[in-house]
């Protein structure tokens, strides 16, 4: 059973890689988000296949998919829905927004102001949406896959720390290498193409149970918690050489996602147990957006991903 599930996951990844060239890490991260049911933040310049990747995965996994283009004039009601008055019936009815889906692509999420970004918080944390006086449960799995342009670009808004923390990972997307970009030249328009549906909601549920059953030794658990504590100034595990670099460390959500995603990595490798390498391979993506650097470190252009990698090395 487990071998068949691993084969299906690899089948999905191989098919996606034949459509989106040179973005293997992003495709694997999207599939990880669907199976672990966590939210993913994808950062990169326009034109690197972020939207195509999400659309392709939704088709291969046979999940409901909606895309919302975030703009400066977008309103929270455009996202979650609103109450509409029906004059003929003299009553209010609920008009549901695009958030009522299984995969929500929040495209260029940092082009909208904080009030719109905050409209996602309840859905991301509790898998429900409140419209008027009623709360509505969202269909499972429900995953927000958000893309954002680098924050240095004009017309972008920084995501609030509370929302950043709700993303299981933040993945950076770079330009494809020479051979991958050459292959893109022969790529046909894949947006309207129908794909074989390799996974579905039921299979993804089975995958989630299988990934959850991967064994994690107590030493690995201690390593994960120690690693997260080492990012927090004031903790007994904090390394003094990072004084002046970090203002605030990662929350307990970081420990949870290091634990869950390390299991997924081990599953993908065909193993029944988690190794330290499974944990260290995801440290930059899980901790990089949660650790807040000091003003001095930002001015000195210190890369937070390098900081958390250095912390991880010291925790061995």
Per domain, the residue ranges of the chain are: 2-206, 214-314
Task: Kindly state the average pLDDT of the residues 194-219.
Answer: 89
pLDDT at 30 over 90: yes
Burial label for 310, CB within 10 Å (0-12, 13-18, 19+), is middle
Q: Which pLDDT score, from 0 to 100, does residue 126 have? A: 87
Q: The domain at 2-206 falls in which architecture?
A: 3-Layer(aba) Sandwich (3.40)
Q: Could you tell me which residues are beta bridge partners of residue 92?
A: 85
Q: What is the pLDDT of residue 151?
A: 61
- Cβ-based neighbours of 55, under 8 Å, separated by 6 or more: 65, 67, 105, 191
Q: Report whether 220 contacts 263 (CB < 8 A).
A: no
pLDDT the model gives residue 263 = 96
Is the pLDDT assigned to residue 154 strictly greater than 70?
no
Q: Is the dihedral of CA 121, 75, 100, 26 positive or negative?
A: negative
Which tens digit of pLDDT belongs to each residue from 46-87?
777 788 888 888 889 988 899 999 888 888 888 888 888 777
Spatial neighbors of 77 by CB under 8 A, at least 6 apart, are 97
- pLDDT of the residue at 1: 63
Sign for the CA dihedral angle at 296, 301, 307, 308 comes to positive
Token pair of 62, please? 């046979």
Q: Which CATH superfamily is domain 214-314 in?
A: Magnesium chelatase subunit I, C-Terminal domain (1.10.8.80)
Give me the mean pLDDT over the 172-197 stretch.
Answer: 75
pLDDT category at 114 given cuts 50, 70, 90 is confident
pTM over 0.75: yes
């Amino acid at each position: 059973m487990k071998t068949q599930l691993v084969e299906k996951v690899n089948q999905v990844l191989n098919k996606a890689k034949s459509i989106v060239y040179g973005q293997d890490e992003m495709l694997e991260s999207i599939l990880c988000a669907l199976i672990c049911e966590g939210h993913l933040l994808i950062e990169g310049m326009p034109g690197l296949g972020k939207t195509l990747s999400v659309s392709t995965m939704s088709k291969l996994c046979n999940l409901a998919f909606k895309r919302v283009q975030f703009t400066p004039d977008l309103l929270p009601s455009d996202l979650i829905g609103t109450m509409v008055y029906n004059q003929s019936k003299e009553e209010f009815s609920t008009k549901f927004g695009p958030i009522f889906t299984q995969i929500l692509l929040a495209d260029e999420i940092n082009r909208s102001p904080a009030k719109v970004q905050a409209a996602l918080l309840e859905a991301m944390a509790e898998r429900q949406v409140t419209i008027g006086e009623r709360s509505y449960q969202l269909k499972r799995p429900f995953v927000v896959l958000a893309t954002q342009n680098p924050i240095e670009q004009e017309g972008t808004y920084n995501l609030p720390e509370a929302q950043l923390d709700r993303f299981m990972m933040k993945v950076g997307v770079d330009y494809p290498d020479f051979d991958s970009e050459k292959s893109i030249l022969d790529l046909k328009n894949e947006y309207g193409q129908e794909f074989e549906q390799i996974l579905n909601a039921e299979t993804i549920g089975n995958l989630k149970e299988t990934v959850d059953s991967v064994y994690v030794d107590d030493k690995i658990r201690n390593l994960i918690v120690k690693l997260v504590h080492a990012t927090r100034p004031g903790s007994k595990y904090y390394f003094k050489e990072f004084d002046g670099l970090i203002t605030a460390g990662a929350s307990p959500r970081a420990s949870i996602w290091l634990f869950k995603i390390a299991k997924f990595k081990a599953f993908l490798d065909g193993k029944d147990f988690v190794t330290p390498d499974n944990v260290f391979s995801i440290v930059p993506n899980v901790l990089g957006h949660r650790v807040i650097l000091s003003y001095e470190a930002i001015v000195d252009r210190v890369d937070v991903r390098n900081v958390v990698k250095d912390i991880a090395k010291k925790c061995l």
